[in-house]
Amino acid sequence: MNQDVFSLKGKLALVTGGGTGIGLGISKALINAGATVVITGRREHVLQDAITELGKDNHYRVSDITEKDKLPILVAEIEKNVGPIDILVNNAGIHHKAMAQDTTDEDFERIIQTNVLSVFSLTRECAKYMLKRKQGSIIMIGSMAGLFGIDKVVAYGTSKTAITGIVNSLVTEYSKNNVRVNAIAPGWIESNMFLNAINNDPERKQQITNRIAMDHFGKPEDIGNTAVFLSSEAARYITGVVLPVDGGATVNF
């Protein structure tokens, strides 16, 4: 088998929220496959630390994706000064944990604003260039909460379900120009924030571990390697997929 089909050499990827957690894991995997990465986030010191880890040939831009009026400027600047964006990974997002009856309209709107509206705005802006070039890979980051019901995350779960709708719709419009749109739905992936949260909630931890078919949590690089595959020529005929990377959680009883 020709392993070059998995190479991202010469490709430029934009990864939102790429400075920590899953976003950093995705960035590392893309770089290991040969891509150059531009990471974004709100905190410059976090991005600077990440670039030290990722390597000086990569780039960062301070960006809050909820400031939608600034996204066209961000994309145009990267296209001009770094290069054509071949891969977009919409990783940035926020979470809200509360029972439905304790979730306010403001809570719900804040989640939708970040996880849905801003994701669409940035995707549309990057696609403007990709469609002209007739190539590109757009990857959304979904969630288990978008595939089955989970208590205490009604706003977050709704936002991730909406991502599937965006994927489906964009496939019908972008595919003729060879711009592919897919989503990765991470299961429970190890991070300091996640481990601290479940270690402080033994009942929730047991509930999660019972759900996973395999005997361990995932790691950020598991999501990263999936992003590499979906961005590569190996996946050139794959579009419209929501791919769980979850240790079997979506099908386990």
Q: Tell me how far apart the alpha carbons of residues 24 and 17 are, in angstroms, rounded to a whole number.
A: 8
State yes or no: is 156 an active-site residue: yes
User: Residues 91, 142: contact at Cβ < 8 Å?
Assistant: no
Candidate list 129, 156, 174, 237, residue with the active-site label: 156
Q: Tell me how far apart the alpha carbons of residues 13 and 36 are, in angstroms, rounded to a whole number.
A: 6
Q: What sign has the CA pseudo-torsion 211, 212, 216, 222?
A: negative
Q: Mind telling me the catalytic residues? A: 156
